[in-house]
Amino acid sequence: MQIKDEIKQAIIVRMDIDMGRGKLAAQCAHASLMSYFEVEKEDKAIAKQWLDSGEKKIVLKVRDVNDLEKLFKAFKYKKVPCALVTDAGLTELPPGTVTALGVGPWKSPEIDQFTSTLKLL
């Protein structure tokens, strides 16, 4: 499979909030599932291709909520399925705290267009 045909999911996490490792893992899981369900509504073939090809994911980091919201708007504008995670506030964070962004699974080049400069978590 060539890169242009590759399907992957990006999970992008804010680094300016203090979350324990378990909380961080839970927010990434929320981002992955929420975004997957968006893809399943948009394009069942891409969702199935991703499931059948090993469910490739990449976890990246951004500085703050502004960076996360800019990415969310950019992906929405390009019609790439994505989902912002907002914490319920039951444990470590205040209610309504935006913690992560799930993007795809979708075509790698369309995800890379906005994430290629981000660092791995």
- Could you tell me which CATH number the domain at 3-120 has? 3.40.1490.10
**pLDDT surpassing 80 at residue 14:** yes
The reported pTM is 0.94
- pLDDT (0 to 100) of residue 70: 98
Exposure of 49 in the CB half-sphere (CA atoms within 13 A): 16
Beta bridge partners of 84: 101
pLDDT tens readout for residues 82-111: 999 999 988 899 999 999 999 999 999 999
Region for 37 from its dihedrals, namely left if φ exceeds 0, alpha if ψ lies in -120 to 50, beta otherwise: alpha
Show me where the domains of the chain are located.
3-120
DSSP letter (8 states) at residue 104: E
Q: What is the largest CA-CA distance in the chain?
A: 43
| pLDDT, average across residues 11-28 | 96
- pLDDT (0 to 100) of residue 5: 80
pLDDT tens readout for residues 57-74: 999 999 999 999 999 999
